[in-house]
Structure 1
Amino acid sequence: MRIGQADIDRLEGAIAALRARDYREGGGSCRELLRVLEPYGAALRWGVMSEPLARRLAGVVADLHNLRGWTEFDSGRPVRAERHFRRALELATEAGADDLLANIRYRLGRMYLHHRTPAEALEQFRQGQLAARRGGRPLSQAILSANEAWAYALLGDVRQALDKLSLAPEQFADSVGDAVPSWSAFFTANDLAAMIGTVRTELARLVDVRHCREAIPALTEAIDGYGPDMPRSRSLTMIWLAVDHALEGDMDRAAEVGLAAMEIADGIRSARTRDRLKPLSESVRKRVGDINARDILDRIATFRASA
């Protein structure tokens, strides 16, 4: 079977469509569709094609595994996710796709962050930065710097967290006007604001509650900017905002934002939204004498049970 440009374009288009669906509806909405698409990508690689097309196809199939790993992670299946991320790394290396390598490292690191292993996450982000520099992509560097800051925040290293966080806006500004590949197109000014708020929230939880002062406006900016195509990001960010309000003792606002976040999350097939409620529960339990705190805890328990 001879493989041409159109065959690879079709596969790439299908991946882009499923990535958009993942943003809208969560990884559980497209995980099975990706599983069906995977043998098609593998079959194409057995076809006859030129060397440049073979390298491009290796990169596209790498991104298929990259997205498959992300949706498995988002669905609460980290072992399967890691297997796909590792395969994606092999194929992206074969393709010589440095920016894609950086993105895979970012996503693998995010999985480690989610499961609270920041040292392992940092190693992935550091390797990702090397690939991003080779690829000359400031946007990928910004994504990785922001996530390095998150890892340092989980380690309680305020200086390193804030140093890395200060790099991300500069790198993001350098990326304006660049052509953006689909795997990093999600990272807009909204996501940059969300990451600033996320890092400050983790520092508020783990080091000093005064970081809420910087977290709340950044998270609010991000939430206001998310459109209907990014409900998962909106819900996850709103949960962090509820955490900050709870840490500051504003339980009325924490309840309002937290309950609204759960309403959005109820329509998304994502285990991460359910998991993100754990730090909210921990923050709210410190104010358990407040009727709003008890209401939030009851709603979280109901949400988790229904999920």
Structure 2
Amino acid sequence: MTGKPPNELLNSWFQRSGWSKGELARLVNKRARQLGAAHVSTDTSRVRRWLDGEHPRDPAPRILVELFSERFGTVITHAELGLREPAAPPATSGVDLPWAGRRSIELLGDFARSDLMLNRRGFLGTSLSLSAGPSLIEPMKRWLSPVPEQHSVNGRLPGRVTAEEMDRLEETTRLFRGWDAQCGGGLRRMAVVGQLHEVTELLRDNYAPALSERLFRTAAELALLAGWMAYDIGMQPSAQRYFVLALHAAREAGDTPLGALVLATMSRQMIHINRPQDALELVHLAQYGSHGTTTARVQSLLAAMEARAYANLGDSDNCRRAVAAAEDLFPGDFPAGQDRAERGSNGAGGDRTRGGDPSWIAFFTEAELYGENGHSFRDLAYRYPQLTEQAAKNIDRAVELLSADDSYLRSRALNVVGMATVRLQQREPEAAVAYLHGGAELVQRLRSKRVEDRLRTTAGNLFARYPDVRSVREVHERTLAVLPAAA
């Protein structure tokens, strides 16, 4: 006996998790080994004592916070588990970083290097924690503070990159983006991280302002992509750290539209972990900070993400307004798929399509707009069922536009599974089954935990509602067969 009252909060989360004491002990030990804490050896008796009120020793509280946050898909704090906050958070956690160019270079390089080393040793992540609420939003507001004038620093080597080599670095970044859209984040993420590390090494030297801006812009794009790939495979704290560093690099490049894209991507992550109010604040910060500097296509993307946040908040009126804005802003003279064929570089770091858009927004095609707006209506339809038909029309149009284009295979898979969720909302199990078979076919061509999780969840929900329907049982068995075992 501990002599202390039981930890009711930890008990409550534990009961809802569905874990046994032995399962939780094994997960704690596994995560401790990934963190290099080989001395941690937890068993069922130890877990029982925690539930009975004993306070676990470091690093167990931090591990428990990470495990329960991942289990429930939202940020769970030490206090919510009935655990004491650490006296001093690790230096690598948090997002309130100094907004200084040289420091940003060091942080980017150090984080990319640690990511490379951890993966070489077989680890899947780092000891970072995920920030949310004011601790995330307040530091991000400083991205609009003026960038100090850059001066050459004595003792640094002259720049090693020519304008022609810079063109090739930018082209490589575009190639990486194409790989991600086609294959998912799990296949070539470390190649992106390695390239990011190389670029940060180059940034340690002195360059003329125009070339320095191009290098920072490339670093920002690579950090954003590394974060996006980490997000896609479920490494949420690492993804957030890359996003924050990408925002710092975009600020150093003086590229507010790229910074707005970073904030929109962070907004998407907040929706993913069920923090829609944080998502809304981030996208509003992106819209405010980039006002008057972005193209119509970028503005359309921001409006679509605003709609997603409002949908998850259940705000039908503002969601509809944002959906209409996204549709009105989207440039109608670029048919879906045209961007990639017309992509080019102006040789001066602009890296734009023929329509004046940055190349990094080329993914936001007509199909992507339909998919985003369709998912907004789908999310609203959980509260307002009459909107399911609007969700179906939009997502089905996205599937149609993407059906002949393997360049955006992950988007196609996400929309196919999205259509299955809508048919489930409409109580049409046979129609949902057809889309799930399509999703099971596509998921085998990808390395994307997001697609896997959505397919598993949707198939499980369909089976839970219609267990006696033969086709439902069959598609449920097929999805379980093609998906990796759940973590």
Residue 455 of structure 2 is aligned to residue 297 of structure 1? no
Out of 191, 205, 213, the position equivalent to 2:368 is 191
SS of residue in 2 equivalent to 1:230: helix
Code of the aligned partner of 2:213: R
In the alignment, the residues of structure 2 paired with residue 259 and residue 132 of structure 1 have an alpha-carbon distance, to the nearest angstrom, of 41
- What is the Cα deviation at residue 102 of structure 1? 0.8
Q: Which residue of 1 aligns with 2:340?
A: none
Out of 325, 339, 358, the position equivalent to 1:181 is 358
Q: Which residue of 2 aligns with 1:38?
A: 196
Q: Which residue of 2 aligns with 1:202?
A: 379
In the alignment, the residues of structure 1 paired with residue 384 and residue 467 of structure 2 have an alpha-carbon distance, to the nearest angstrom, of 21
In the alignment, the residues of structure 2 paired with residue 264 and residue 73 of structure 1 have an alpha-carbon distance, to the nearest angstrom, of 19
- What is the Cα deviation at residue 259 of structure 1? 1.4
In the alignment, the residues of structure 1 paired with residue 317 and residue 464 of structure 2 have an alpha-carbon distance, to the nearest angstrom, of 29
In the alignment, the residues of structure 2 paired with residue 152 and residue 285 of structure 1 have an alpha-carbon distance, to the nearest angstrom, of 29
- Contact 1:138 1:175 survives alignment (8 Å): no
- Could you list the per-position Cα deviations for residues 88-126 of structure 1 after superposition, in whole angstroms to 9, with x for gaps in the alignment? 111111111011001101111111111221111111111
- What is the Cα deviation at residue 223 of structure 1? 0.8
In the alignment, the residues of structure 1 paired with residue 407 and residue 369 of structure 2 have an alpha-carbon distance, to the nearest angstrom, of 17
In the alignment, the residues of structure 2 paired with residue 154 and residue 281 of structure 1 have an alpha-carbon distance, to the nearest angstrom, of 22
In the alignment, the residues of structure 1 paired with residue 162 and residue 333 of structure 2 have an alpha-carbon distance, to the nearest angstrom, of 32
TM-score, structure 1 length as denominator?
Answer: 0.93
Residue 336 of structure 2 is aligned to residue 160 of structure 1? no
SS of residue in 2 equivalent to 1:27: coil
Counterparts of 1:1-307 in structure 2, within 5 Å, are 1-2=158-159, 3-173=161-331, 178-204=355-381, 206-226=382-402, 227-277=405-455, 278-279=457-458, 281-282=460-461, 285-306=464-485
In the alignment, the residues of structure 1 paired with residue 411 and residue 332 of structure 2 have an alpha-carbon distance, to the nearest angstrom, of 24
In the alignment, the residues of structure 2 paired with residue 262 and residue 123 of structure 1 have an alpha-carbon distance, to the nearest angstrom, of 35
SS of residue in 2 equivalent to 1:135: coil
- Could you list the per-position Cα deviations for residues 25-45 of structure 1 after superposition, in whole angstroms to 9, with x for gaps in the alignment? 001111010121122101211
Code of the aligned partner of 1:211: L
Q: 1:283 to 1:201 in 2, by over 3 A?
A: farther
Code of the aligned partner of 1:247: Q
Gaps of 5+ in 2: 1-157, 335-353
In the alignment, the residues of structure 1 paired with residue 240 and residue 427 of structure 2 have an alpha-carbon distance, to the nearest angstrom, of 39
In the alignment, the residues of structure 2 paired with residue 295 and residue 212 of structure 1 have an alpha-carbon distance, to the nearest angstrom, of 25
Whichever structure has more helix as a proportion of its residues is 1
Larger radius of gyration: 2
- Could you list the per-position Cα deviations for residues 37-88 of structure 1 after superposition, in whole angstroms to 9, with x for gaps in the alignment? 1221012112332112112211111111011111111111011111111111
In the alignment, the residues of structure 1 paired with residue 309 and residue 467 of structure 2 have an alpha-carbon distance, to the nearest angstrom, of 29
- Contact 1:27 1:74 survives alignment (8 Å): yes
- What is the Cα deviation at residue 280 of structure 1? 5.3
Q: Which residue of 1 aligns with 2:39?
A: none
- Contact 1:239 1:280 survives alignment (8 Å): no
Code of the aligned partner of 1:54: S
In the alignment, the residues of structure 1 paired with residue 247 and residue 272 of structure 2 have an alpha-carbon distance, to the nearest angstrom, of 20
Q: 1:223 to 1:174 in 2, by over 3 A?
A: closer
In the alignment, the residues of structure 2 paired with residue 131 and residue 289 of structure 1 have an alpha-carbon distance, to the nearest angstrom, of 53
In the alignment, the residues of structure 2 paired with residue 37 and residue 208 of structure 1 have an alpha-carbon distance, to the nearest angstrom, of 46
Code of the aligned partner of 2:438: A
Code of the aligned partner of 1:201: R
- Contact 2:264 2:283 survives alignment (8 Å): yes
Identity, % of aligned pairs?
26
- What is the Cα deviation at residue 149 of structure 1? 0.8
In the alignment, the residues of structure 2 paired with residue 85 and residue 134 of structure 1 have an alpha-carbon distance, to the nearest angstrom, of 23
Gaps of 5+ in 1: none
- Contact 2:203 2:215 survives alignment (8 Å): yes
- What is the Cα deviation at residue 284 of structure 1? 5.1
Tell which has more relative contact order, 1 or 2 (C-alpha 8 A, sep 6+). 1
TM-score, structure 2 length as denominator?
Answer: 0.60
